[in-house]
């Protein structure tokens, strides 16, 4: 079911959103890059047509490391997939990566959650015809977010995330 938002319609005419029910889905993984001064400097994301498994998350982190060849602190939410032993193995193999975790169920502290919220709002009341159209729409909104310093700064500010130099 698509995300629904309030809309306008002539008096007495109920607005209709035609949905196309399919079982296909996409999953998105993303990382907001924040410099030591606390300013967002970009966003990396990836879309898959399946659920993320540990292999998918590792591939995403390896792509992130390749794109940002410096010391990184990666802050993960407390999803079960992020708390498994493979994360410790990953950190042992990548000495330039430090993993930290947000507190248990604290999406309000995660600026990426605000990015997802903005993307969902932008796609509200839209029912794509097929999975390819959905993927293109999500990709378009991800690129729009990644190249919007104002949006990314707003997401960091909303999360009230303090960034300290170390």
Q: Encoding tokens for residue 138?
A: 């999500």
Pick from 32, 19, 109: nearest CA to 64 = 32
Alpha helices per DSSP H over the chain: 54-67, 85-93, 111-122, 131-146, 149-159
Is 125 domain-assigned? yes
Separation CA 166–CA 19 (nearest Å):
50
Is 7 domain-assigned? no
pLDDT for 95-120, tens place per residue?
Answer: 999 988 888 888 899 999 999 999 99
Asked whether residue 21 carries a pLDDT value surpassing 90, the answer given is: no
Q: pTM for this structure?
A: 0.79
- The boundaries of the domain holding residue 130 are 27-159
pLDDT number for residue 112: 93
Listed range (17-26, 93-102, 131-140) with the worst mean pLDDT: 17-26
| CATH number of domain containing 82 | 3.30.420.10
Q: What's the total number of domains in the chain?
A: 1
């Amino acid at each position: 079911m698509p995300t629904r938002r309030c809309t306008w319609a002539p008096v007495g005419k109920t607005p209709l959103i035609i949905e196309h029910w399919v079982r296909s889905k996409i999953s998105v993984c993303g990382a907001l890059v924040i410099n030591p001064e606390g300013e967002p400097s970009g966003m990396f994301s990836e879309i898959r047509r399946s659920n993320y498994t540990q292999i998918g998350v590792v591939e995403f982190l390896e792509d992130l490391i390749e794109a940002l060849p410096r010391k990184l602190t990666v802050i993960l939410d407390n999803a079960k997939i992020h708390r498994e032993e493979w994360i410790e193995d990953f950190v042992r193999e990548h000495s330039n990566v430090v993993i930290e975790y947000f507190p248990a169920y604290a999406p309000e502290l995660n600026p990426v959650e605000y990015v997802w919220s903005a993307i969902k709002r932008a796609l509200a009341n839209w029912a794509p015809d097929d999975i390819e159209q959905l993927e293109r729409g999500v990709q378009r909104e991800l690129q729009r977010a990644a190249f919007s310093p104002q949006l990314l700064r707003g997401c960091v500010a909303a999360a009230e995330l303090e960034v300290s130099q170390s």
